[in-house]
Amino acid sequence: MAKPRKQKSARARDLQFAVEYGLLRGLEQFFRLLGPDIGSAVSGKLWRWFAPLNRRHEAALRHLAVAFPDLDETQRLEIAGDVWENLGRTFAEGLMIDRVMSDPCRIEFPTTGLVEELRKSGGRFVVTSLHCANWELAAAAFTRAGFPIGGIYQKVNNPLVDRWVVGVRTPYYPGGLFVKGQAAARRLLAWGKGGNPPGVLADQRIGDGIMVPFFGHPAPSTPLPAFLAMSLDYPLVGARVVRLKGCRFRVEIEPIPVADSGDRAADIAATTATVQATFERWIREYPGQWMWAHRRWTSKGPPADFPPNLLPK
């Protein structure tokens, strides 16, 4: 009798996948009809209104209390609202990223200074970024500027959705878009050895990462950007996307120093700390454009050393 139940479970799972995929493609068509400007705005407002009903809203408020203990509840609620609106906009924009990228006026990308140095290097650098504004546009903007990025992504559980997401994003990752894991790190290293820029989003919690300060508390952080830069002997570049107004953006980049004391383990740790300090500085500038709901310090959210009595009820 166990076998039929397993078969039914598999059918139910496949049906769920098909329904989810159908809903996603339906939303894609809806937002395409509205266009990038209106579609982004509508999705942003819907998320601002309804996302606070989700339990992840409480997580975002807890994390904001950790990072900004000097702000009152009203100020943190305002930031959280901005976060959800930004994520709603990003969701809709991601469904029509080709239309967003087809308009060169939507994304400002630097053309002098550090960019000129990177061109002289032949594109031999490592870029690290964070989930700020519409973060997907960073790799797309680098690729359009002549720096073919290779990157890593988190696989979606639904295989139909995952195949579609990869298909939409792959054109902006000429070096490949690899599923998160050790194999992806090796493939990024190989892409870099070919004289190309690997790209890594490095602001999320990683279980086996290096503990470095983040908003004053130890946070497990990926050493991959530091590892790639040191292994390739390439400069490390930090990049962020800033939402200007509506569906318009600016990509900002700056060099991140790579430690060089001769102690490889210590240098990777020190460089990882510098990466996270850079991210913290950027997030403080635009707190409403970063993903506050994800667990950054521990598996439960707030850092272990944060006083529970200071968390919002």
What total of structural domains would you count in the chain? 2
Residues 91 and 109 in one domain: no
State the pLDDT at residue 206: 77
Cite the DSSP H helix spans in the chain. 2-50, 55-67, 73-95, 97-101, 114-120, 136-144, 159-169, 182-193, 224-232, 264-285
Cβ 110 vs Cβ 68: under 8 Å? no
Residues 144 and 84 in one domain: no
Residues 229 and 276 in one domain: yes
Residues 80 and 198 in one domain: no
User: pLDDT tens, 226-243?
Assistant: 999 999 999 999 999 999
Classify residue 41: in a domain, yes or no: yes
Average pLDDT over the chain reads 92
Structural domain of residue 87, as residue ranges?
2-95
Classify residue 295: in a domain, yes or no: no
Classify residue 265: in a domain, yes or no: yes
For residue 80, what are its two tokens? Answer: 């959280």
DSSP helix/strand/coil, 108: strand
Residues 113 and 66 in one domain: no
The CA R_g of the chain, rounded to the nearest whole Å, is 20
Q: For residue 1, name the pLDDT band (cuts at 50, 70, 90).
A: very low
User: pLDDT tens, 257-277?
Assistant: 999 999 999 999 999 999 999
User: pLDDT tens, 43-101?
Assistant: 999 999 999 999 999 999 999 999 999 999 999 999 999 999 999 999 999 999 999 99
Checking 73-77 for CB contacts under 8 A at 24+ apart, the result is: 73/312, 76/312
State the pLDDT at residue 8: 59
Residues 89 and 19 in one domain: yes
Q: Which residues contact 22 (CB under 8 A, 6 or more apart)?
A: none
Alpha-carbon distance 133 to 290, whole Å? 7
Classify residue 306: in a domain, yes or no: no
State the pLDDT at residue 294: 86
Residues 49 and 142 in one domain: no
Q: Among 44, 71, 95, which residue terminates a domain?
A: 95
DSSP characters over 213-255: EETTEEEEE--HHHHHHHHHT--EEEEEEEE-SSS-EEEEEEE
Cβ 228 vs Cβ 192: under 8 Å? yes
Residues 152 and 263 in one domain: yes
DSSP helix/strand/coil, 115: helix
Residues 56 and 132 in one domain: no
Predicted model pTM = 0.91
Alpha-carbon distance 186 to 168, whole Å? 24
